[in-house]
């Protein structure tokens, strides 16, 4: 153990003596969580090393020591920047409200997504709000879907990589995975098959873009004509994506 590490431990022990009973209780809970069973693994990743993998997993465990709600997008953004920068200043969050990338890592613009729906499937990815479709012209003409598709393809120019943090299993035995969606896979939508649902009672009329490889559906885009006017990415085959890492851990009841 280095002299610096010994000094850090001594300072920490001294500060613990100053804690209130309530503060000490929270600290005990965190230490208890760190002693619980867990397994972290890197599958194929140029983003995470073993140290970053462990630090991100421990951040997940700290979160779930106080919450049964899955990691939200803002927590994902903040913690990823923090753990990447623990070893070197390689990451920087984009300004709040930026319509393009969420974070820059190694000078690469990255979009971050999360998935934690109740009916989550391990083999297929669903992003309920990939992007907002705005207030431009969109009615009941099938040609309107062409404009919406072009909006999606243009939006992809705003970043170079896309990562999604997926909560595959929830309390008490949590499983998270980090998956990268290849940009080339999404760009295949440019040759997808558009289908407007003219029979829908919604206005503007919703529609789909089906992206297939032979008889295999790779994914579909859903242009949601509801009040949010958003684009959903549905039924994306995880087998065509890159699984970077996986975190499994147990959070005992208080």
* Span 117-157, pLDDT tens digits: 999 999 999 999 999 998 778 888 889 999 999 999 999 99
DSSP 165-206: EEEEE-TTEEEEEEEE--HHHHHGGGGPEEEE-TT-S-SSPP
Maximum Cα–Cα distance across the chain: 72
Per-residue pLDDT band at 39 (split at 50, 70, 90) = very high
Q: How far apart, in whole angstroms, are the C-alpha atoms of residue 85 and residue 102?
A: 16
In three state form, how does the secondary structure of 49-116 look? CHHHHHHHHHHHHHHHCCCCCCCCHHHHHHHHHHHHCCCCCCEEECCCCCCCCCEEECCEEEEEEEEC
Query: Has residue 251 got a pLDDT over 80?
Result: yes
Q: Report the residue count for the chain.
A: 254
d(CA 49, CA 90): 13
Summarize the confidence of residues 25-30 as an average pLDDT: 89
Query: What pLDDT is stored for residue 13 in this prediction?
Result: 84
Q: Which of 37, 74, 55 is nearest to 248 (CA)?
A: 37
Task: Dump pLDDT digits (tens) for 181-234.
Answer: 999 999 999 999 999 998 888 888 999 999 999 999 999 999 998 778 899 999
pLDDT for 137 equals: 82
Q: CA 171 → CA 15, 33, 176, 223, distances in Å?
A: 32, 13, 11, 33
Calpha distance 67→27 (Å, rounded): 15
Closest CA to 84 of 224, 199, 243, 245: 245
pLDDT of residue 129: 95
Tell me the pTM: 0.93
Domain ranges of the chain: 36-250
pLDDT digits (tens, 9 = 90+) for 150-196: 999 999 999 999 999 999 999 999 999 999 999 999 999 999 999 99
């Amino acid at each position: 153990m280095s002299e610096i590490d010994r000094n850090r431990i001594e300072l920490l022990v001294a500060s613990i003596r100053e804690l209130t009973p309530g503060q000490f209780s929270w600290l005990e809970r965190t230490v208890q969580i760190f002693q619980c069973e867990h397994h972290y693994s890197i599958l194929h990743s140029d983003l995470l090393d073993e140290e970053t993998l462990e630090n991100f997993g421990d951040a997940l465990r700290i979160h779930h020591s106080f919450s049964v709600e899955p990691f939200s997008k803002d927590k994902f953004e903040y913690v990823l920047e923090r753990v990447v920068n623990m070893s070197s200043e390689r990451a920087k969050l984009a300004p709040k409200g930026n319509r393009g990338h969420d974070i820059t890592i190694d000078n690469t613009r990255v979009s971050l997504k999360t998935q934690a729906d109740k009916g989550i499937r391990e083999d297929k990815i669903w992003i309920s709000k990939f992007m907002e479709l705005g207030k431009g012209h969109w009615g009941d003409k099938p040609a309107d879907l062409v404009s919406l598709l072009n909006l999606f393809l243009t939006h992809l120019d705003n970043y170079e990589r896309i990562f999604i943090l997926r909560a595959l299993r929830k309390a008490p035995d949590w499983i998270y995975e980090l998956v990268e969606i290849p940009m080339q896979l999404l760009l295949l939508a440019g040759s997808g098959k558009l289908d407007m649902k003219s029979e829908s009672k919604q206005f503007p009329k919703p529609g789909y873009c089906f992206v297939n490889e032979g008889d295999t559906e790779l994914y579909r885009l859903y242009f949601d004509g509801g009040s949010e006017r958003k684009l959903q990415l549905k039924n994306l085959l995880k087998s065509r994506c890159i699984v970077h890492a996986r975190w499994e851990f147990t959070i005992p009841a208080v």
